[in-house]
Structure 1
């Protein structure tokens, strides 16, 4: 079975930050590297998403051509990926002529079907000063939901609500600052509504036309939850053309001046990237997309779930020739030091900024990769901190992995001249260690194949811990002092070398730069593409990973510790980043203080209650799994929450503050012992706690991202 992997095409409108890396690229890289080590046939494609209104808007503001914008950020982001060990098989771009051709052919194939498009004439805002219809992002106005005066025509970035331009209050053109006028324009709408029934069955049951295509238990709960929220609200036909002069021209007579909507052409970029790879390598692109023995896996962030689980699959099925994704292991969001990444207020660190700042330090890329892997937002939002970065590097990589391998090589050279010692073939200690390595490599591999990358990293650390404990308990230095000829010394070092060999292999998907060094030390040769497969085979046959008599090298200090060396300039760089964060925080606090300068009266305190009354409330932590609008009410959302030991139905009056997609995955505090009751015909079995300010804005009362579900709040 061959595997085609894709990662969300990064938008070529600016530099990428750590959240992007943790969402769609680092997990895919771990997965791709592991599959290659298992000798599997795998192809991983990605590329720059280079169309869309945001790029043309930026180009107009800067007085340059859109091509100059995308050229700059295509090369910048590709360079950042390369520096951080992201091992795409092909990195394409959607401005390439082959992509234009592929997208137009895809559109025409759907058009030939005769039932996939609906042509509508609608009213759209037009700016007469520039003689141009305005795409959603070209319009700003007041959000009808939260009152934000800077909401865009497609979304309010304060409350997160999806919008249409005509919903905005007092809209203005972003380009000229003038009030636009409504004019009629013709567009092509993809009949997404016609695909609703089979999409529900495919997502919930994994079946299509009675054939089992995937196991829904293998999909993440928040992925299925967000999909079903959309599907249960009912799908609508979606416009897939825009009035723009930058993009892929709609290949239909009478569509002059119209381009394909970026969210129609971007996922087709996976197909064109595969085509370009095949063109340059002589491969067969179609077998990856169409063959029965090929599987497709999309790695994305949670903001792209709907497009990869609903819109693109519907496009693929409408076309009729392509496989549907077997899995879409979407990650949640990564925050930075307790807040969202924000370029505008300087909160966070960009990938290239990290690469440039730490370029002179050993294994710098691996240090970042490891800190992110140990804190991946797989099931819920996570938080990157510099303290965590330092701790994961020093405790895991320096203390456990680097220290163990260094001790093994030093002792092997001291006692056996740098060669793997001879041991008896019936040695029970050797057999025991062999069995442990076989189990560890299988456990790590199973976790990676199950998209549980944090668990896999934990299992890797446990293997390093096992090595340290084994060596420390055996204490060959004490044995040597008592009797240099003691055969237990050879057994101990033989086994320790086998553990180091397994670690050099198991490290490869996670920290490839350091893994290559470890491999050179222990094996004296680079790893083969199927090294993991061969190692598992040897261990299953009771064979060692390194034969007696083989030569090993010197490790030295692979991971110089950060925290113990105050003069280490890495500390200075981290402090510089902390100072930058502090300045950004102070600026944010000052703005908030100015906004709250007028003393707004708080709601009066309620009457006192006894402590006994308070303790009657059962407050517990939970995570929102699904969310959908309640059909009989404009104010209510129907949620499903995970309480750890059970799931419950909750009806919450927050529909005017949050869309269903916004609340899926939210960490919440709930009152769980209220008497159940029906609201608008839907059973509610708990209440979610919210905070409300003077303007009526609601925010969730949320426990930390790493706090479990079902725990008591006191």
Structure 2
């Protein structure tokens, strides 16, 4: 496999909105995908940063705080700590979970200030839904209605169902999300926008070069968006929540939270560097074109338009100063018992609660196996228990017991066992197959988890056959099985993090995810750890 001569990879998960903790639907999307990919890169000797933070400026924070009877500031602060804790509890090894602080705000203002100074923005007078009762313009998370593109229920700014934008007063039958009974009107406001149509040629060229890396639904959305005039992207909003816009044309307005995506990610990257003991020259230093990092986004389909069009256009507007993403890996929605996760309706499973009841390796395995990579998939507690027990825990523990018994019967404890050419070939083949699921050109958590199941089933069958072999071939057969079991454990390590950590604590075992680790003539047998089974609630 590829080693450390690769350029540094920066992996970005979209900052979660701090209006609550992370539920299983969030984790099954970009956060697990990012974590597994980052762990894989580290295991193959590559330099990687996996980072995120929180998206405090979103009006969803305001809407949620009002419904909960608290302040946006208090909700964002509590949620920041809860989210960071949940990521750690579920084994998401984020290199730096950035705070929303003066450094964050300064990075955003520097990013947009440079574009303003270069004349990249335009003034536009547009109409917004308006609450006569509260005297507020409504946008993004403060307003809902029917999507003008697909007619589904949508929030302002973007439709989660079809992925298309709806700016300003484009929602059909707009309603306040805080007070649905409030009768809305519309009012004009003069804001600053980024005219996306001016970046059509560059956006088209980017996707002409990178479309092969996109998942089908994302490719379809990009094609649909580029097939029509590109809408203006609002840079400022007439609302009080967010980072105050410093532009003389828009007094009293704030920066659109979606504008923060790229400078926020730059700040998260710099924060992660500091957590790793580095000291970047500036918060955007690693994103400069001359650094030549490989930038990878993992995100939900509902984020594709912003990250793949508006954010990309903002990077391009800096005229070559910054790198652009090497890959955008999207996922679809994850449902709970075949219904959409809903915090307000109590239809939710919180990530921290689940790993408190079920060993987190089993949670990670099940979320990987059922990951919503190309279509909506479903979380079921009953299915989690059934699938992890039948396909993972029981066969793995049976393999561990049989290998230990065979080792004792042969009197080979502590003695190196020979490995055959065929054993080395099988181990190498295993590594190659896992590589095909972990590398970006074929990245798939579902196929990686399914490969764990398939290889484990194969090894369990061979361990049963071993029990009937007592002749001179037994040491080599056992040596081959130990090599392949070690290889499977190394390949599964990005998903089964606790099992891998338990194995790594053995002085006879070192996880190395490479073909070179398979090229051995003998293997020292070691004590394989057992997997804990699920624990039913109640």
TM-score by structure 1 length? 0.68
2:298 match:
299
Question: Match of 1:290?
Answer: 289
Name the residue aligned to 1:599.
none
- 1:357-394: per-residue Cα shift (whole Å, max 9, x none)? x0xx5xx1111111111111212221222333123211
In 2: Cα distance, 1:377 partner to 1:124 partner: 35
Q: CA 1:76 to 1:526, structure 2 compared with 1: closer, same or farther past 3 Å?
A: farther
Q: Which residue is equivalent to 2:37? A: 31
Aligned equivalent of 2:531: 558
Once the two structures are superposed, what CA deviation does each residue of 1:444-475 show, in whole Å capped at 9, x if it has no partner?
01221021222222222232223222222233
Give how far 1:141 is off: 6.7
Corresponding residue for residue 537 of structure 1: 516
- Separation in 2 of the partners of 1:130 and 1:240? 24
Question: How much has 1:53 moved relative to structure 2?
Answer: 1.5
Shift in Å at residue 319 of structure 1?
Answer: 1.4
Equivalent in the alignment of 2:433: 443
Q: Aligned pair in 2 of structure 1 residues 191, 384: CA closer, same or farther (>3 Å)?
A: same
Q: Where do residues 134-533 of structure 1 align in structure 2 (5 Å cutoff)?
A: 134-139=138-143, 153-154=156-157, 163=166, 164-165=168-169, 167-169=171-173, 174=178, 178-180=182-184, 182-203=186-207, 205-206=208-209, 214=210, 216-280=211-275, 281-284=277-280, 286-291=285-290, 293-320=292-319, 321-356=321-356, 358=357, 364-416=359-411, 418-423=413-418, 430-449=420-439, 450-475=442-467, 478-480=468-470, 486-521=471-506, 524=508, 527=511, 531-533=512-514
Distance 1:28 1:143 in 2: 30
Is the Cα contact below 8 Å between 2:132 and 2:184 reproduced in 1?
Answer: yes
Deviates more, 1:11-20 or 1:54-63: 54-63
Does 1:104 find its partner at 2:109?
Answer: yes
Contact 1:19 1:341 in 2 (8 A): yes
Once the two structures are superposed, residues 225-264 of structure 1 have per-residue CA deviations (whole angstroms, 9 ceiling, x without a partner) of 1111111122011212112222111122353321111111
Aligned to 1:48: 54
Alpha-carbon contact 1:173-1:180 (below 8 Å) kept: no
2:3 equivalent in structure 1: none
Q: Hey, what's the Cα distance between the residues in 1 that align with 2:296 and 2:164? A: 29
The alignment's TM-score, normalised by the length of structure 2, stands at: 0.89
Equivalence map 1:502-651=2 (5 Å)? 502-521=487-506, 524=508, 527=511, 531-533=512-514, 536-539=515-518, 542-544=519-521, 547=523, 550=524, 552-553=526-527, 555=529, 557-560=530-533, 570-571=535-536, 573=537
Offset of 1:61 from its aligned partner?
4.3
Residue 348 and residue 489 in structure 1: after superposition, are their counterparts in 2 closer, same or farther (change >3 A)?
Answer: same
Per-residue Cα deviation, 1:379-424 (whole angstroms, up to 9, x for no partner): 222122233312321122223223212321333234335224443x
Change (3 A) 1:226 1:460: same
Q: How far 1:72 sits from its partner (Å)?
A: 1.0
Relative CO higher for 1 or 2, CA cutoff 8 Å, sep ≥ 6? 2
Distance in 2, matches of 1:553 and 1:156, equals 52
Question: Cα 1:147–1:444, aligned 2, differ >3 Å: closer, same or farther?
Answer: closer
- Structure 1 unaligned runs (5+)? 207-213, 424-428, 481-485, 563-569, 577-714
Distance 1:448 1:77 in 2: 26
Mark the CA change 1:385 to 1:169 in structure 2 (over 3 Å): closer, same or farther. Answer: closer
Could you tell me whether the CA contact under 8 Å between 2:12 and 2:298 is conserved in 1? yes
| CA 503–167 in structure 1, closer or farther in 2 if over 3 Å, else same | closer
The answer for unaligned runs of 5 or more in structure 2 is 1-6
Larger Rg: 1
Q: 1 CA distance for matches of 2:361 and 2:378?
A: 18
- For 1:141 and 1:227, locate their aligned partners in 2 and report how far apart those are by CA, in whole Å: 23
Alpha carbons of 1:401 and 1:170: their partners in 2 closer, same or farther (altered >3 Å)? closer
Using a 3 Å threshold, how does the CA distance of structure 1 residues 271 and 383 change in structure 2: closer, same or farther? same
Residues in 2 aligned to 1:294 and 1:157: alpha-carbon distance in whole angstroms: 31
Cα distance in 2, alignment partners of residues 472 and 173 from structure 1: 60
Q: Could you list the per-position Cα deviations for residues 622-654 of structure 1 after superposition, in whole angstroms to 9, with x for gaps in the alignment?
A: xxxxxxxxxxxxxxxxxxxxxxxxxxxxxxxxx
The answer as to whether partners of 1:334 and 1:384 remain within 8 angstroms in 2 is yes
* Structure 1 pair 283–409 and aligned structure 2 pair: CA distance change class (3 A): farther
Task: Report the CA distance shift for 1:335/1:61 in structure 2 as closer, same or farther (over 3 A).
Answer: closer
